[in-house]
Structure 1
């Protein structure tokens, strides 16, 4: 038989369809889970009890080391059952771990000196620092300091409050947001002059003689000069002529302020897509000649003036970064101070978007180089750029994603970074830590074990602590030697037994092909602990499809809202579909001007494939819930995919991308605001509603304006659609809190299980 070269995608779809229909036949032999009112009430009680029991078992997913200044030892707090804890002390050289002190004796001595009862397994210290090879400790309890002698446990008042605080985060290269303004410096580097702005014009004042020199004459109150910086040699000032634009306001009313009988109006500045930005035209002013040179560049009309980077020991050339509005062009521009002429060191353009907040830059003026991240080859990678020639060299390369830069060793010319997807045999979202040379050689995996990793270094970076886990595999914490990555000791090793003893089922990882028939789509599945093998259960999807990240949990997750909902008689899932971040550029680009897509073609295929593997999943009864962007997507599921999704709970959704915040929406939906914004709006498409919908909104939401939900409600009313809405007085950007989460569960019980949830209005 000849097989013609039809697309593998088509074959995959045919196979999935055949398996799906076979599953439907299997499900027909099973009965739907249909609880009685009493069974439903018991399910709520058991869900709450199980949730409490699981949460009282510690996971220790995040072991935080507190290092001694010399890096020879650290202490950490280990969580114990029932929200108690103990302190442990570790000698880094050999990894020997011991209980830091006798908790009972310390508790008794604290009681004696403070007069307050102490629980030895709940000792709370505002500060704790070990010294003298771990023989003494300084502790702060509320506002008082004590010295603890660990030889005899004597506790004395002390006025010596000197301790060493170290946070591993200090060592990380923190990416500077381009929303931050240029750092102004009034006084010149040599201290001889100070900048003064009067009537919108720029002046300098001699700090000795107080003589004033006016440098500009065409500024005024409407278009003033400002946002200034000095050249390193104090000879020139870079300043910007500003064309200000008023930021429009949004409003809300607090309906239920205690002690009042009237609503209280709240207003604040809030930029929405398409709003005008203040623009800044750069100029160079020479202090000695009073000459003004207009920089040969377009005004900065997106973000504000950025930090200037000067060549090493050279005050003639500086560079700045410019992101064009619409996020389709990023430049590093060099300016010649003498002429105002410019050239582009980096000029990246794309037909879709450049993810601005993921751009990393680090300037190395001594070698006329810079480090920069870009997705120009289809994956987020790190480049070394020669700032004199503009030549770019790939440091990292391959079908994986550089997630973040931890630090840069300029002397050794190494970059320490986080990445995911490098290991072909595991979840492509698992984060691993690496170091590599500027030349792209000498790649070292600091975290070789399979799992999602979280790593922190000692102050001298001689040692590091690596904690890793998977969604259904408890965390392991290891102490390793940085130079060789050799494991010194295992510090903690979590166990499943205590969780499984409660009866809970740990989440399962499931992978299926996406819309292209070849890309793996990853998600997790939560089952009820008392699932009857002879019953089918409705499926509920927890959705957040914001393009700014990926969202399916990767760390050990025995307890979650998803599991708590599952205990009521549902199979609950979470999926990262196309259009979310942390995969290839092509995977991410699906969201471009297309947020309404929300990865639904991938999600629906994933759910169908999941039902083939797990016949107890009834995907004729599928619900969906989400908050914020998830609120938008969950409503969109009913509007754009009513053949599949039957019920939705949407909290504080950004139901129209024109109403939500400018910076987030223009990043993905583009600029200018065009017809596609309207076409993808839930409000515009409200008349398409099928299925059951509950809207939740906090009246004091300062993230997504509440009118986003109210305008959707207005459109649904005008379209004569049935829906429910819950407005919560005083609440901000939220899923509704405890009350909203209870109403969400009740809604799904009623509309997917066709059962009656417990009625709190009926006294027992």
Structure 2
């Protein structure tokens, strides 16, 4: 038997060994540095990182606001003359405002809101402290107006192109009235509108007496309106509760889920203002099809007719693998198919484009039929004339079309430069000739085009190269440098740019790209836990491609300062900027497809860099990233140490119909049923239904070994809180320990609660990756620190 004295000696030796080992393993998180380098503080130090031009209608001129360490300034640019000047005399403006308000104004920090520029009269309007002002550039004259009042029309009115008419909704029906007369007679165009089958923009609004905004739109000639109205009456309801009101209040909305029978039925209608007649377009083809009239997407001018005699309609089947472009006769409602396309497993909606040339003489169309997104040219009957672009790269947004010169300008990815995610600007003629690369700099190019001639503002940057904003002409020649971001104030306090890197996917072949953030006191001889910021796609990937100080760039930069190497990189199935194979890789495997690439990527980085400790691995993300980060922790429980998963769609079976069915898949099921007809005779009828079943994170709950923080806003009407609650239920039943944070009153974005959430994320990773369990850190540092 061992003596009690010896036992005590061994006990204290073990305690001493544990304390010594813990002191070696535990590290102190540098919360002060993390707070110093948040995106908000960096933006205050540096100012803006891009020029956002406000092109003046029907001219080649624009103005923009730009803030840097020297202050806030407004500039006016004449693209034809390649000249730039201050928009107004800011010292004189400050002087006049000081006299009016009887308090001092700083000429370098003028808080001028609601800018509107009138090029014909060379004046602009704005407001300060709810007082309206007009400033005449000729004579630098500031004219004080009345107190700013909210224009009632701004909330409910939809104006026709020449502001002759106003459209609005009341009691779910459609109305118009003339805009030049406050006492104008209201003309009611519909009588069958009702809640959930409405002409209101908010179909579920129960208000009946007020004028409300409509989802109808005018044709350019102002004689007719068109509307896509969705019958949601049979779609099941979903609810969230606002717990922060005077008493908890239920919010009800319609929400179709994958595989459900009722997901809403679209109808396209046209109203003639003069005759007050309505014509419904003949669009029936597929069960539960998706319709969009005069669809503009995110590219200006797409699917837009110049006159009201015809309407272009985008039609897509429920599995999203078949698309038609229709031309509808607005007098009869008859429709003809202009272009029809099948794209397995689904049609890439990110860059879909229809360009209408000279009111239908010919058309430009975007397609992935070769496996790469390219542009094609069709004649007026929908017959293919020629392929415009060709190659193993992806055409992105069509930036501008020069119909007179039969030339178009477009962005593309992966044709030139080192990074396939960098956008470049190109031009080409309609027949495919005279192909030009207009932005030769090896960087990302964010483009804004002029209204009139072919001029472009180009914000040139990389994650490690601060932005240079320039003016280019149609040949790509730089005629004027507008602004260059100066990072020297940040460099003086230790800031360093993040690093781009390239690794392989888990197949060992596919290139994967990403960005790495390090602590600014980085020491290559030390060992750092690694944290992976994730978003699985397929519409975007989680790493930046251009220079920024805000968003996830700023958040990841701050997180790294705690003492981590933070990385964000893609995965197969992640981005539409690459081939059809790449962006559809996750089809039929919506939960698992990105996980192996993330794990293998971290392993490659750890093998490449001795300072990365892959025994301490964190992972986090929001929405799809919240889903992915939890799935990774539960799929590879011996690899990932801790996850912070916010607003995750952990059960895509209760997420929205379109997302789950498009990116995971839906099965069409046909069956024959017997029913009684109008004559009480039993007849057979074919019924089409849809089935979908997607793997959930809850089914992996038994695997949890590491540390998991789940976060959700309790009023999230995009990814319903049930996604997280169902996972919580499975974890409780599995007897697992985890952490849960509910943010009251928050939707899918956390808004004013975002800073609080970020700092709780810092705490969580500091505890579980560094062993720093402090909870009393003061984040309210003085501004000069």
Q: TM-score range by the shorter chain?
A: 0.7 to 0.9
Flag the 1:410–1:85 CA change in 2: closer, same or farther, 3 A: same
Match of 1:20 in 2: none
CA distance in 2, matches of 1:463, 1:243: 44
- Structure 2 regions of 5+ residues with no counterpart? 1-20, 149-172, 178-186, 194-214, 271-278, 296-302, 670-689
Q: Is the 8 A contact 2:319 2:666 kept in 1?
A: yes
Match of 1:114 in 2: 101
CA distance in 2, matches of 1:561, 1:536: 22
- Shift of residue 535, structure 1, vs aligned partner: 1.4
Match of 1:56 in 2: 44
User: Is residue 2:269 matched to residue 1:269?
Assistant: no
SS of the residue 1:744 aligns to? helix
Match of 1:473 in 2: 465
Alpha-carbon deviations, 1:478-500, whole Å to 9, x = none? 12233x33222222222343222
Q: Is the 8 A contact 1:512 1:605 kept in 2?
A: no
- Shift of residue 469, structure 1, vs aligned partner: 0.5
Q: Report how many residues are paired.
A: 662
- Shift of residue 511, structure 1, vs aligned partner: 0.4
CA distance in 2, matches of 1:281, 1:302: 10
2:501 pairs, out of 501, 506, 510, with 510
Matching of residues 345-360 of structure 1 within 5 Å: 345-356=338-349, 358-360=351-353
SS of the residue 2:52 aligns to? coil
Match of 2:126 in 1: 140
Q: Is the 8 A contact 1:50 1:502 kept in 2?
A: no
2:376 pairs, out of 366, 372, 383, with 383
CA distance in 2, matches of 1:112, 1:241: 53
Alpha-carbon deviations, 1:433-490, whole Å to 9, x = none? 22221111122333222211122234422533211100011111112233x3322222
- Shift of residue 390, structure 1, vs aligned partner: 3.0
SS of the residue 2:583 aligns to? helix
User: Is residue 2:701 matched to residue 1:686?
Assistant: yes
Match of 1:715 in 2: 730
SS of the residue 1:596 aligns to? coil
Match of 2:482 in 1: 491
CA distance in 1, matches of 2:338, 2:64: 46
Match of 1:759 in 2: 776
- Shift of residue 651, structure 1, vs aligned partner: 0.6
Matching of residues 55-454 of structure 1 within 5 Å: 55-58=43-46, 60-67=48-55, 71=59, 74-81=62-69, 84-93=71-80, 95-100=82-87, 102-126=89-113, 138-142=124-128, 143-147=131-135, 155-157=142-144, 246-257=234-245, 259-260=246-247, 263-275=248-260, 276-279=262-265, 298=285, 301-304=288-291, 306-307=293-294, 320-333=313-326, 344-356=337-349, 358-364=351-357, 368-388=361-381, 390-391=383-384, 393-423=386-416, 425-454=417-446
CA distance in 1, matches of 2:377, 2:234: 40
Q: Structure 2 length as normaliser, TM-score?
A: 0.74
SS of the residue 1:56 aligns to? helix
- Shift of residue 732, structure 1, vs aligned partner: 1.6
- Structure 1 regions of 5+ residues with no counterpart? 1-30, 162-182, 188-193, 201-226, 285-291
CA distance in 2, matches of 1:593, 1:368: 41
Q: Is the 8 A contact 1:312 1:366 kept in 2?
A: yes
Match of 1:730 in 2: 745
CA distance in 1, matches of 2:216, 2:88: 55
Flag the 1:388–1:604 CA change in 2: closer, same or farther, 3 A: same
Match of 2:712 in 1: 697
Q: Is the 8 A contact 2:232 2:254 kept in 1?
A: no
Q: Is the 8 A contact 1:701 1:732 kept in 2?
A: yes
- Shift of residue 430, structure 1, vs aligned partner: 0.7
- Shift of residue 586, structure 1, vs aligned partner: 0.6
Q: Structure 1 length as normaliser, TM-score?
A: 0.76
Flag the 1:78–1:679 CA change in 2: closer, same or farther, 3 A: closer
- Shift of residue 712, structure 1, vs aligned partner: 0.6
- Shift of residue 685, structure 1, vs aligned partner: 2.3
CA distance in 1, matches of 2:710, 2:54: 45
- Shift of residue 36, structure 1, vs aligned partner: 6.1
Q: Say which is worse superposed, 243-252 or 269-278, in terms of deviation.
A: 243-252
2:642 pairs, out of 626, 631, 647, with 647
User: Is residue 2:566 matched to residue 1:572?
Assistant: yes
CA distance in 2, matches of 1:266, 1:229: 28
Flag the 1:69–1:241 CA change in 2: closer, same or farther, 3 A: closer
CA distance in 2, matches of 1:311, 1:109: 48
Flag the 1:366–1:654 CA change in 2: closer, same or farther, 3 A: closer
SS of the residue 1:713 aligns to? helix
- Shift of residue 356, structure 1, vs aligned partner: 3.4
Q: Is the 8 A contact 1:656 1:677 kept in 2?
A: no
Alpha-carbon deviations, 1:283-326, whole Å to 9, x = none? 99xxxxxxx999696356222474598999998x9874321101
Q: Is the 8 A contact 1:75 1:88 kept in 2?
A: yes
2:548 pairs, out of 557, 564, 580, with 557
SS of the residue 2:527 aligns to? strand
- Shift of residue 380, structure 1, vs aligned partner: 1.1
CA distance in 1, matches of 2:102, 2:693: 66
Q: Is the 8 A contact 2:665 2:692 kept in 1?
A: no
Q: Is the 8 A contact 1:510 1:524 kept in 2?
A: yes
Q: Is the 8 A contact 1:245 1:277 kept in 2?
A: no
Match of 2:758 in 1: 741
Q: Is the 8 A contact 2:55 2:450 kept in 1?
A: yes
Q: Is the 8 A contact 1:318 1:336 kept in 2?
A: yes
- Shift of residue 369, structure 1, vs aligned partner: 2.7
Match of 1:47 in 2: 34
Alpha-carbon deviations, 1:678-699, whole Å to 9, x = none? 5621122222223111101111
Q: Is the 8 A contact 1:333 1:344 kept in 2?
A: yes
Q: Is the 8 A contact 2:647 2:724 kept in 1?
A: yes
SS of the residue 2:381 aligns to? coil
SS of the residue 1:609 aligns to? helix
Q: Please, what is the CA RMSD of the aligned residues?
A: 4.5
Match of 1:584 in 2: 579
Match of 1:214 in 2: none
CA distance in 2, matches of 1:363, 1:493: 37
CA distance in 1, matches of 2:219, 2:622: 48
Flag the 1:34–1:632 CA change in 2: closer, same or farther, 3 A: farther
Flag the 1:643–1:359 CA change in 2: closer, same or farther, 3 A: same
